[in-house]
Each structure stands twice: as C-alpha cells, then as structure tokens.
Structure 1
Amino acid sequence: MTFPKRPAGRWSDGRVLSDYISKYLGLKSPVPYSLRKLMPQHLKQGMNFAFGGTGVFDTSFPFPNMTTQIDFLEQLIKDKVYTTSDISNSVAYISVAGNDYNHYLSTNGSIQGFPSFIASVVNQINTNLISIKKLGLKKIVVGGLEPLGCLPQITASSSFQQCNSTFNDLTVLHNKLLNKVVTKLNQESKGHTTYLILDLHDSVMSVLNHPSTHNIKNPLKPCCVGVSTEYSCGSVDLNNVKKYRVCDKPNSAFFWDMLHPTQAGWHAVYNKLQTKSVLRQLLK
C-alpha cells in the first residue's frame, strides 16, 4: 500500500532492506527470479532469488531453500545469462531472517535444543557461503540476525510492551557463531574474496530503543493484524471479506505484521547501517 501501491511480493507495506541496499549501490531493485523471463531488459541490475518464508533448510513454506536458490544462480551462469565478468563484479547479499527458527518452534522444537539447532543453521550458512564463492563472487555480504525476541509474534504475550530476553539471547548466539564463521572464511580467503556481515541486530535494537528519533510510535506493535487470533494480516474469509485491520499511519510503525518491518522500519534500519563501514566497503 506504501510502495508501489499494489501487491509486489514483499512481506511489508513497501520497500524492504534489499531495495535500500540496491539503491545505495546505484541499482534498481533486482528482478525476482520467478519473473526473469518477463523482464530480460533488467537482468543486468541483478536478481533476487529469495522466496518468502524459506530458510537455510526446508520450512513449512514449500519453496526452494537457500541451497537450491544458489543452484539457480549457478544454472544462470552455465546458461550464459551472467558472464564470469558479471559475477566477479557483483555483490551477493545473503539474508537469513529467522524462518528456520520459526519453523523449528512451530514443529515442537524445544528451547533446550535451540542452541544445537542454531549451530546447525550457521554451519549450513558456512557451506552456502563457500558455494557462492566458488561461483566467482568477490564480495559476499550476509545479514546478521535481527533480535527475534522483539518480533510482535513474541512480544504479543506482553501486549507488545517488551522484548523477550530468552529469544534475544538465542539471536546473540546465532550472530556470535556467524561472526566466527565469517572471520575464518576471510582468513582462508587471503584477500581473494571478502565476506562481510551486516549488523542488523544492533541496528534494529538502536531504532527500537530510540523510536522517536525515527518518528516511530509504538515500536513493538504491528500495524496490520487479524481481527482475531484465528486470522492474520491479509486474511480474507470464503466470501472475500477482509478479516484484518491496518493502522492509520504505517509510516509511524516499525512492524508491518507479526514478523516483518514496515517500509518506515526498514528505512530507519538502513539509515543506521549507513553510519557503519560495511556498506561503504561494497562501493570499493
């Protein structure tokens, strides 16, 4: 409803972080993989292989996981859609937003078993980063995990008043293990490929802790919700009657629904990221 004023495949009311990163690099938003044949004139702007709800491993969403998405890129290189030069002059951005962890909990995963599952997720990210490097990428950026304990899905139990420290501690563990992986990969690469981490955890927390600085009110409360617990943002009944409601000012909300930020939320996070050196390294 905010951008581009019609449904566009984003889990938000408008632009998401990858849109802002593309803009920072002077590019248009990358073409979705599923629309590549309909938009051949835009392929040199890059491609977005993401499928909503997917993760490093398979989730409840029956779409390609990250390993398969990397296979898609490899096939495009084999098919000469992208040349060796295209790839070596490109940046790969890897987004791991927590869908694996959401799936883990929804399939009766225990809190006790969470740390070992986190280790398996980060280990697979490590494998995937190596696979991407082998395709010829020189710069690979992976997003750190945002504070999952602050998602409305978790904070609903406190009427959206406070983040859950248990889940935020698990997020910190994920990011700690990810930092170790990236440090080791950079040491082994010896300058041939640069691996970078976008610190989404600290950027999101900074915005949530100082919402008024970014013109955001009720930082933990979602803008779009179901009319009852059996419905969610976007739900309609059999008669196509809306079973959700939307706040009056999405631009004052950080979260769009129970899991995803609004365009305003992502823009605030992007502004925080611009103060760090990682984005600037992408332009070198």
Structure 2
Amino acid sequence: MEKSRVLVVGGTGYIGRRIVRASLAQGHPTYVLMRPEIGLDIDKLQMLLSFKAQGARLLEASLDDHASLVAAVAQVDVVVSAMSGVHFRSHNLLLQHKLVEAIKEAGNVKRFIPSEFGCDPSRMGHALEPGRVSFDEKMEIRRAIEEANIPHTYISANCFAAYFCPNLCQMRTLLPPKEKVCVYGDGNVKVIFVDEDDVGTYTIKCVDDPRTLNKTIYLRPRENILTQNEVIMNWEKLSGKILEKIHIPAEEFLASMKDMDFASQVGVGHYYHIFYEGCLTNFDIEDGADATLLYPEVQYTCMEEYIKRYV
C-alpha cells in the first residue's frame, strides 16, 4: 500500500521533531511546514535544513496566511500538528483553529492529528483551575474538528519520559535528586511514562491505520506503567544510593499553589491529577485503543533503560 504524504506542523518542536524523524524512518513522503515567523531562529532553521537533507520537503506557509496554508495542506494526505501548548489561552488555540479551517477548506486530508499528546482531555472536565484551561482548549479544537467532519486521530501519550522519569517525578528539575525525594501521597498511584521517540513512532504508525480512524489512541507501554515508588526504587538500584523520602499529603501539595505564578499553578494542578488522582490509569479504554497492542512490533524503550544515561 502506498504510504500517505505526511505534513508536520511544528516540526522543530520537542515532539514535532520526533514525529518528523519517525515519518521519514517509516518511509512516508514527509513534509514540514516552514513558517516565515522563524525569523532569526538559527537553530530551528538548521533543524529544518537537516530534515531536508534527510529527504523531507519544506513547505513555506504562514498560519496567519490562510491561502498559503490551504495550498500547503492540499499537497498532503495527513496533517500532524505538534505546535507547542505552552502558550495558554489565545496563541496556540488560535493557530490550531486556523489549521482546522485550512484543512476544512482544502477538503483532501484523510487524517488529522491535532496537538494533544498528553492525558485525554475528554476525561479532564473536572480539572483544577487554572490548569483546566489546557484541557478545555483541546476539547474546543476537538469540537471544531468533528463539526467540520475532518477524519482524525487523537493521541494520548501520557507523561513524556524526560520531564517525569529521571527526576523521579520532581517538579522544577530535570535531574535526579541527590539526597531527598518528595513523594506524592503514598507514592503508589500508577503513572504511564513514554519515551519521546516512541511517541513519534506510534503517532506515525496510526496515520494509515483504519483501526485508529476517529479514535483516541492511548500509549500504554506495559513495563512503563509504574508508581512513583517504583521509579524511585529503580533509581536507587541503579545509583546504589538510598534517598530520604518526604511524603506530601494532597492537601499540602495543593496548598503550595497559593503564592505561585500562573505556569507553576498549572503544573501543580496537572501533577495532582496524575500523581494523587491517577488520571492516566484510573480508567479502562472503551472507545479507543492501546497503541502498544495495535503495534506489538514496536520495541519501545523501558524506563529502567531510559534512566541509565543519568547515572
């Protein structure tokens, strides 16, 4: 079967670059949107040129120029949005709406994967403020996609490994703690960690698969469904050092939001839902599928191997 032509929007971003590499590796004609807004960002430009050298085609278009965006979308079969979600409320939401409008007008796209890649926003209607806005925005984009009858797949990638695993789930650091580790509650809530390269691999696996059409696909690598205590235990085994555990009750953790800035409050809310509530694992998949079961041939990276580089 001929492989779909894949356009990645946000291809120089943290997950976007991995999706571009996965698309090339899996033999898809791969296109990357090159926006004039790149300006003087030499690192992004060099990355785009490296993709071009590997066989990707760069399509020049601006998300602020509807005609150019429609023209770019018209050249492909699949669009994957990997635009950063760090700009809450207006910016990212507006850009995603513009992309949806272009896909709707072009009328040729057989699969759209919007920029989600976290926990399933359809299950987060109860999320705490102010972090709830990120889930509400994703649901707004979902409604726009479905109202436009755009064929789609939603990817729930859970916790990106580099942000959650080597730091033993600690906030405000990416490195393993040396002496003490904060444990959320009893530390026994199951969490799902996924290697970021594997996110790209599974995402591209989905684009031509009829089983993933108009579904939410969850990335649930069995060996990476771990409690925080298990992550800490793995690190102690690898490092040979026992850490002092400081258990933080839920009430105390939430109270810490009081004097924080907006972004930190959002982070605390998300951590609460993941590590106290268990929002990644406290449900069975019903109207969707587990990517690791759909694609058992993918040799995903286990977290015990992932964190060895930090020893």
Q: TM-score range by the shorter chain?
A: 0.3 to 0.5
TM-score, L = length of structure 2: 0.37
- Tell me which structure has the larger Cα radius of gyration: 2
Greater fraction of residues in strand: 2
